[in-house]
Chains A and B, each alone.
Chain A
Amino acid sequence: MKKVSILIVLAFWGLNLFAQTPGASSGVWSNPGIMITIALILIPMVIAVYLVAVKVNNMVKKIREVKIRREAKYLAKSIQQLSIAEVHEELTKRKLAVDYKLSNTELAGEAQPEDKKGLLHNIAEVNSPRFIASKKRAVKRPDIDPKLTKLILWYLGTATLWLVVGTSVGEYLGIKFVSPDVDHISWLSFGRLRPVHTNMVFWGWSSLAMIGLGYYVVSTVSNTVVASLKLGWIALGLINGSVVLGSLSLMAGINNGGGEYREYIWPIMLLFAIGVIITLINYLQTIARRKTKEIYISNWYIIAATMFTIVIALVGYLPFWQNGLGESIAQGYYMHQGVGMWFMLFNLGLIYYFLPQQLNTPIYSYSLGILAFWTQILFYTLIGTHHFIFSAIPWWLQTVAIIGSMGMLIPVFAGTTNFLMTFKGNFNKIGSSYTLPFYLVGIIFYFTGSTQGTAEAFRSANLYWHFTDFTVAHSHLTMYGIIAFMLWASIYTLVPRLTGREPKQSLVGAHFWMALIGLLFYTIPLMIGGTLKGLAWQEGKPFIDSVVLMAPYWLWRAIGGSLMWASHLIFAYNLYSMIANREEIDLKKTVFEELNKLPVNSAV
């Protein structure tokens, strides 16, 4: 039902779009960047429709079952009314019919099959050939150290706190677009709260969750224990402290200079950086003690992300190249490397571990992983300046950034292929798992969100979209669609293993659907509105027209944002129930306990 209404709403938007831009829009639709984006928007929609179809199918099955039961009851009743002789006769007849067998020689005769003329080739010896040999499986994993469990749960718990607080702030900001006079308090004004929201979900939610999950992955794939839990606790405190102080100082009006994600002043960001440095040391020492010969691919990504982030923070905060436009070049580099090298690389590392684990199959291809890893470093590092296309920054540097953005298609395609091929043959598991839909959505948005980024970097597409709300939609498609969904996937996979407690599946479902539908309600109107805004600017209309034009789209954004926000409350409750719920009684375990209590067994 929900889906149908979405489709209707979308169709309506589509009509609107044509209605408002007669003639003038023909140029937009033939723009390659926009065509790519529309295709990209459709992909997650199609997936969502597919998932709904699966659900509906299940419902239909259930209804059919009820019908069958009813018929069975009726049949049983009618059989009871027959006499024994009648039943006997019927059954004997039926048995003869059922037992009848063909001799298998009715058509072919008695001759043996033979390929006398050599017509048969390439006979498959195995049913499904594997592209790459299966890798070693770890011997049964020892139980997880309860002390490590506690550390990881604290990382995830504080991360979730920041998710809830940070998106509450975001939700409030969304409301301010619709109702700008909702308050007149300096600490809550739009300009001050916006960086509070972005930094809180970046450094508080995503970073803490990643590092916490990283402690499990880094040590597990190294088949060893974490080098120092104490360092883990110190980093946890530092990063949380940085987010608390940073948020308060931003609300008080202390801002580093307005560069996005660089709003915390350096003494506060330094706490975060030290936290990351400590984490790096801890991870590296853990990997150095590994009991496996090779370093699993997850650890390349995680260590690279952590090393690079330290470099990125230094480039962003050291003062030596920041005068004049140098600040903007550093800003472009900093903000995009922060997103692509810290969040994206780290999350890919997590997915390379958790996805095969959850599917119970090895990753499809190591080679594609190698390709994606090196090309990501090669191309991603160059693309920062694509945030300043047509600005006063040197033209050649803008061109390098655009080329780098196109090069990014290689790691994105390689990564997506790798994940989807790992999924291949296991798609049937999605319906019976509450974690796999999160992985699937994360992977789909990895593809669409990243490719959209490439499309936006084209000069021709940039004309329409730069400075509009399209950018906001893009950053939510990626930071939320990719990063948050991948983190939730990993959390729902890992925490039950750590605590032995599972969340209520219906609530996980509610979380998933509200977050996904909310995200679509949030991003699609902003993309449509952003495009119309860009068109209005190009036509040279008075600026205020573009503000008036956005009003309905901002309203939709607030509605989608509310759904997303509510889903986070559910997620927080789910996490709580995974940590603190009473353990559910397990039948098998109880049977064995009861058996042990029997006098026969207890005597032995």
Chain B
Amino acid sequence: MEIYNNHKRLFVAALALFLALTMFAAILPGFNIQNDNAPLPKSKPLSTEEMQGKAIFISEGCIACHTQQVRNVEMDKMWGSRPSIAADYARLTRTDVWRNTASLMGSERTGPDLTSIGSRQPSKDWHLLHLYNPRSVVSQSIMPSYQWLFEEKEYAYPGDVVLNVPDEFRKGVQGKIVASQDALHLVAYLQSLKQTDLPDGKPVPIFLYPKGPVKEEPAGTTSQLNTELDGAALYAVNCQSCHQANGEGLKGAFPSLKGSPVVLDKDPKVQVTIIMEGYNGRVSEGYGLMPPIGTTNNLKPEEIVAIINHERSSWGNNSRKVSITEIKELFNQIKTPVIAKK
């Protein structure tokens, strides 16, 4: 055929086809989604510190292992309360003249997704320790240590954030370990990562591929099975990163639950309150601030019961198991004032 003997015709034809398809598959959809998109009304832009933290996140290449997208499939439920939508990314613009927009959606989850890390793990103390050496808080972690984001000082100045690093991870550091501005910014950025609620009345997109066939329960029966959740697993997801698998916490950073008077107390009121509202009673002893993890992670009463009973019956703890009705009652007492306060 003539076209294969004429380089101008052949190459122009190939290029034209490629360009047309490129317009269709990349440029026009890109334009569309860029222009036909707006941030959710309840979302707010990143603060200056958070922006600086994001820059650290980018330059350290955290995206190599961490995604920031909740897919609309059942298995991604653990990363957010709803699938990510285009509006979640609407505030993203070019970083600066040298660097492109960073949507940081990622392509691999060697580490957890970070879409809502700010709600799942709000504790600043935890994040700093984790950045200094991830294995100090999660022993099986393979995340790199970011020790260059911290400084060693003989004396801490007022305003310095000092880390209580367990001895085995100090590696010969004698002085104080102080978080640099970069580390603080990075943590501020991580704390800012939360899913924004959709405007009232807007339908929430569903998660596809729900687990197994949906079992319809016969009306009127209260299912005993459903309330007996796996306390150990829930503890692992919600509590373990600070209080550790052995319940002993980390000396000087996160208090022990083993033998803790709060956990052993026959009345679960204080325990539930701390889980739902957080706790600052032991900050003076050097312990971190306990975040209201039950509220930020939207834990249901059934889940709280499972966690509490796991804590009350593990690591040598042997206290009274609590019932769901008891907790539901406490739950209602606590929940109302929390909302009222804000």
A residues with a Cβ closer than 8 A to B are 176-177, 180-181, 184-186, 189-192, 194-195, 250, 253-260, 262-263, 265-267, 284, 287-288, 290, 293-295, 299-300, 303-304, 307-308, 311, 315, 317, 319-333, 341, 370, 373-374, 377-378, 381-382, 384-385, 387-394, 397, 400-401, 404, 463, 466-469, 471-472, 537-538, 540-544, 547-548
**In the complex, what distance in Å separates the CA atom of A328 from the CA atom of B86?**
11
Cα(A404)–Cα(B24), bound, Å: 13
Total inter-chain residue pairs, C-beta < 8 Å: 266
Residues on the B chain within 8 Å of A319, using CB: 94, 100-101
Question: Is residue B98 contacting chain A, with contact meaning CB distance below 8 A?
Answer: yes
Q: Which residues of A contact B246 (CB under 8 A)?
A: none
Provide the bound-state CA to CA distance between A192 and B133, in Å.
17
* Interchain CB contact under 8 A, B104 and A378: no
Subset of 21 A-B contacts with CB under 8 Å: A176-B142, A180-B145, A181-B145, A184-B148, A186-B146, A190-B64, A191-B63, A258-B104, A266-B100, A288-B7, A295-B10, A303-B14, A315-B22, A324-B33, A324-B92, A328-B89, A333-B22, A390-B73, A390-B208, A392-B88, A541-B233
Cα of A389 to Cα of B73 in the assembled complex, Å: 10
B197 within 8 A of A: no
Q: Assess whether A258 is in contact with B141, with CB atoms less than 8 Å apart.
A: no
- B286 touches A (CB below 8 Å): no
Q: Check B94 against A322 for contact (C-beta < 8 Å).
A: yes
Measured between alpha carbons, how far is A331 from B85 in the docked complex, in Å? 17
B206 within 8 A of A: no
Q: Which one, A186, A308, A327, contacts B101 given CB within 8 A?
A: A327
B19 A311 Cβ-Cβ under 8 A: yes
Contact partner of B18 (CB less than 8 A), chosen from A194, A258, A308, is A308
If A180-B145, A323-B93 touch, whether A330 touches B26 (CB-CB below 8 Å) is yes
Q: Are B30 and A322 in contact (CB under 8 A)?
A: yes
- In the complex, the answer to whether B30 meets A540 with C-beta atoms within 8 Å is no
Extra contacts besides A326-B31, A544-B140 (7): CB < 8 Å: A255-B99, A329-B33, A387-B107, A392-B88, A463-B209, A538-B74, A548-B140
A185 to chain B: which residues have CB within 8 Å?
148
**B78 contacts chain A at the CB level, 8 A cutoff:** yes
The interface centre, meaning the residue of A181, A327, A466, A543 with most chain B CB atoms within 10 A of its CB, is A327
Residues of A within 8 A of B112 (CB): 543
Given contacts A267-B98, A333-B22, whether A321 and B145 have CB atoms under 8 Å apart is no
Complex-state Cα separation, A507 to B29, whole angstroms: 51
Which residues of B sit under 8 angstroms from A381, Cβ to Cβ?
A: 18, 21-22, 25
Interface string of B59-93 (1 = CB under 8 A from A): 11111110101011111111000011110111111
Bound Cα distance A191, B61 (Å): 4
**Chain B residue contacts of A295, Cβ below 8 A:** 4-5, 7, 10
Are A192 and B60 in contact (CB-based, < 8 A)?
A: yes
> Are A463 and B18 neighbours in the complex by a CB distance under 8 Å?
no
Q: Is the CB of B65 within 8 A of A190?
A: yes
B273 at the interface (CB under 8 A from A): no
Please indicate the chain B residues that have their CB under 8 angstroms from the CB of A320 in the complex.
31
| Most chain B beta carbons < 10 A, residue from A258, A263, A295, A370 | A258
Which of A180, A267, A320, A472 has the most chain B CB atoms closer than 10 A to its own CB?
A: A180
Contact indicator A463/B73 (Cβ below 8 Å): yes
CB distance from B22 to the nearest CB of A (A): 6
- Identify the closest chain A residue to B90 (Cβ): A324
Instruction: Contact check, A326 vs B34: say whether CB atoms are below 8 A apart.
Output: yes
In the assembly, what is the distance between CA of A466 and CA of B70, in Å? 12
Of all A-B residue pairs in the complex, the 9 with the closest CB atoms, nearest first, are: A191-B61, A321-B30, A390-B71, A253-B59, A333-B26, A257-B102, A381-B21, A326-B34, A258-B63
- Contact indicator B37/A324 (Cβ below 8 Å): yes
| Contact (Cβ within 8 A) A255 B61 | yes
When distances are taken between beta carbons in the complex, the residues of chain B under 8 Å from A194 are 61, 64
What A residues does B144 contact at CB under 8 A? 176, 180, 184, 189-191
A317–B100 touching, CB < 8 Å: yes
Residue of A185, A293, A392 with most chain B CB atoms under a 10 A cut-off: A392
Q: How far is the CA of A189 from the CA of B145 in the complex (A)?
A: 8
Q: Would you give the shortest CB distance from A418 to chain B, in whole angstroms?
A: 16
Residues of B within 8 A of A (CB): 4-5, 7, 10-11, 14-15, 17-19, 21-22, 24-27, 29-31, 33-34, 37, 58-65, 67, 69, 71-78, 83-86, 88-95, 98-112, 133-135, 138, 140-148, 208-209, 211, 233, 236-237, 240
In the assembled complex, which residues on chain B have CB atoms less than 8 Å from the CB atom of A393?
29, 33, 86
Tell me the minimal C-beta distance from B237 to chain A in angstroms: 5
B91: nearest chain-A partner, CB-CB:
A324
Say which residue of B26, B37, B134, B138 sits within 8 Å of A325 (CB atoms). Answer: B37
A287/B7 contact (C-beta < 8 A), A327-B101, A537-B75 known: yes
Task: Provide the residues of chain A in CB contact with B146, threshold 8 Å.
Answer: 186, 189
Which residues of the partner chain B approach A307 to less than 8 Å between Cβ atoms? 11, 14-15, 18
CB pair B18 A311 closer than 8 Å:
yes
Residues of B within 8 A of A341 (CB): 18
Are B22 and A311 interface neighbours, CB within 8 A? yes
A255 with B89: CB separation less than 8 A? no
- Complex CA–CA separation, A381 to B111 (angstroms): 31
Residues of B within 8 A of A331 (CB): 103, 105
State whether A180 and B236 are in contact (beta carbons under 8 Å apart), knowing that A377-B17, A378-B21, A544-B140 are contacts in the complex.
no
Q: What residue in chain B is nearest A178 (Cβ atoms)?
A: B142
User: In the complex, what residues of A have CB within 8 A of residue B27's CB?
Assistant: 315, 321
B130, chain A: closest CB distance, angstroms:
13
The answer to whether B62 touches A191, judged by C-beta atoms less than 8 angstroms apart, is yes
Question: Shortest CB–CB separation between residue B96 and chain A, in angstroms?
Answer: 10
Closest residue of chain A to B39 (Cβ to Cβ) is A324
Which of A195, A262, A266, A381 has most B Cβ within 10 Å? A381
Is A258 within 8 A of B94, CB to CB? no
**Interchain CB contact under 8 A, B138 and A544:** yes
Nearest chain-A residue to B234 (Cβ)? A542
CB nearest to A537 among chain B residues:
B75
**B140 adjacent to A547 (CB under 8 Å):** yes
A190 to B145, CA, bound (A): 10
Q: Cβ of A300 and Cβ of B10 under 8 Å apart?
A: yes
